[in-house]
Chains A and B, each alone.
Chain A
């Protein structure tokens, strides 16, 4: 007998067996062992072992090493044809299963494709600027009592300072975007009778060099060279001059502050949704700078947006470090600080916490990409479950193949080919479906996506299909190829507890995902309903608003602001119009945009607290038109002559000030004492993510409040609007476009993102649940078939159909119950995290989860119901005489 220390090193023999050609292995291993035996005698065990290891390593050379490619020795094309044939035959033989798999995969791929299109579109916003790698936007962090607020408004002096003081800065531009005007409509004319409304913005000279808007006409390098230059979109040029090439033509802006004649120096291609910067015309920044005056240049003031390009190779981190100290260097009393963010990232990373970017749209992109992946996974799992469940039917095939010399890899490849072919068919269907449903999807997302099959998209699609196919085929390939040929031929189903357990866990996983999504649907829809029905403190129904027109035009500088009398006259006419309940003028945009000030003082105010108040400026009748409720006192009224020296607060403001009985007391606003004449109940102007802020309503009867809000009576609103339009056109210069918006629609737009998430989640969970059920049908029919004999015996022994039914159902419910136990807690945590972002949110109630659980169970019962019922009613004798 050999003693233990005479054994050759096993590791190297194993290694050799692994890499050696099978045809050579036996002979060579014999040689190695014989050498070893001799060497042990001559040199001893240790040396002999060392020599063997050296020999083994030296054997690792071409000619000895086997091929690691599967099936290389077979003709690959013939094998492929064979596999494809078997695949098709299998599809035919199990057509029901094939359809279930195919529709599941097709729906999943369609969903994934839609989500991909959406994500791709979102991710390409603002990416068209050629300097996007070094184009930054500067943001301002302002400490407020509610935490650090991050804002795009920066100092007027910032851009020039950056260019002169920061050597790494290439160029900088200051911009007053159209959004800054809070929805005010601007009117341009061709100098004659043609009036067009336009979104105007102001920018400094280098603006068009930082950003790569497509300049169609004009010299790109001197577009805003002088104050009287304007650059307009091709659409605007077409509307104003009937000619896209408007360079050299003159237009008039009808405006009391910025009005006058401007020469078109360039025309850019009309912006599409791929740009966050939206405007129709760009005027020279000096126009607004001169209008605002010197105070605007102070470092304490911040209004415009600032953009910079760094020189190539400059270190953005070092730049940011320097930038953060800049504000204090310029004014030591400033508490705010500046930071720069890559402009191309501002769209997706648009939320700021503690003064730094913290997610935003990107988190929804990630969320939905994840949902897409999960749905694909669920569909893949269907394939796995069905192919392994049907393994019994294919045992003989695998057994014969293995006996004929097929290796494990050959069988695996065959299953992979099967799964990949089915995904490719599904891909074709999904491309067709996507094209068909794209218009609906666009409506849902408010985008104009198109399905252009460019090589890039096709590559992505093929990769996705291949990935899904490999994933779907991986487990069956691994599991089925591992059958022992002897057992397979004898028809013994491997007593594979593993296979059963694996299938069950896969089903549990599917239901867990479906449960989480179902809870998500309930939570999101409840929150959306809350947003929809939340008492905002004002009545957003039947309200339209628009910008007042102009009364003079034709000569530059002649356009003047409307006097309070003219505004009053217009409102009088509106109030007399049938269908109009009341009307008022106001400033800003009621939703989300308002002025804030720290200039409100009162007796006993803690001087250390920089209390921030929101300012809403409205004319007479503002509170009534908006449907706000007075908690105390009175509203502004024309019967008092000096109401513009008074003030109305909201309840939160009263609480912040701390007056017990505020009416008649005075506060000091911007150095002026104002008597509090009324208190309105709290109203929401911010998104419901935020708490209500202390606010006051001031009376502005002049042209500062140049927007008009009209409350219409319910009923025939279209006729009312037409009458309002007639009044408008008669009162102002004819031809100025009358463009109005429903406040309700603004509100919907305000929360478009939330509503969209609601709809998306609903569809996603429906799809996930549907695909899961498809899989369940397959799983159930298989499990039930295998239990036919058991059911027959039970019946013979006296079980009633009802008992059998309960027994069968129990096995399905058990799987679902496990899924619920896992899924519900997970969804609780996820829902709570999402809801935590809202200041006003629904409470997570037990019934959300109960409803989700009940619907999942109900769907399960409906899905497996028919099959289970059928099995419970079989004739026992039919299934006992079978020689199985």
Chain B
């Protein structure tokens, strides 16, 4: 179980990589999170998280093409691994289990 644990930001990044499916690299991930969650993300925080996820084996990276806007620099694409999928699934399960155990009154605040 333990190796599947995710931090809050890790979970967001991992999910976003999944959402972008095949088009996930630094810029798109950041834009996606910023637009969906309406929160500012720094390149530094995002990149260190991505490295961490890669190290844990939840994502893997692949060398991509460069564009003019990037000054010819290559993109680094991220895709979610099977292990990564397990991790978000497990995270969702634990959340659901917790939600189920929550009394109605608190679960639906007015």
Contacts and interface: CB of A to CB of B under 8 A. Distances in A.
Interface of A: 24, 26-35, 37-38, 54-55, 58-64
7 contacts: A28-B26, A28-B43, A33-B70, A33-B73, A34-B27, A35-B27, A54-B42
Contacts of B71: 29-30, 33
Nearest to B46: A31
B76 interface: yes
Q: Give the 4 A-B CB pairs with smallest separation, nearest first.
A: A30-B73, A31-B26, A30-B70, A27-B76
A54 B75 CA distance: 21
By secondary structure, the A interface counts as: helix
B82 interface: no
Contacts of B67: 34
Contacts of A26: 73-74
Contact of A27 (B45, B52, B75): B75
Among B30, B52, B73, max chain A CB count under 10 A is at: B73
Among B27, B31, B52, max chain A CB count under 10 A is at: B27
Interface string B65-96: 01101110111100000000000000000000
Contacts of B76: 27
A63 to B, nearest CB: 4
Contact of B47 (A35, A54, A59): A59
Interface string B5-35: 0000000000000000000011100110000
Given A35-B27, A62-B48, A63-B48, A29 B73 contact: yes
Contact of A55 (B44, B66, B69): B44
Contact of A64 (B26, B48, B66): B48
Contacts of A34: 26-27, 67, 69-70
Contacts of B73: 26-27, 29-30, 33
A35 B75 CA distance: 13
Contact of A63 (B30, B31, B42, B47): B47
Contacts of A27: 25-26, 73-76
B51 interface: yes
A346 to B, nearest CB: 63
Nearest to B50: A63
Contacts of B27: 31, 34-35, 38
Nearest to B43: A55
A34 B51 CA distance: 20
Nearest to A62: B48
A31 B50 CA distance: 14
A30 B42 contact: no
Contacts of B48: 61-64
Nearest to A30: B73
A35 B74 contact: no
B30 A35 contact: yes
Nearest to B55: A63
A37 B67 CA distance: 12
A61 B51 CA distance: 12
Contacts of A58: 42-45
Contacts of B31: 38
A37 B69 CA distance: 6
B44 A64 contact: yes
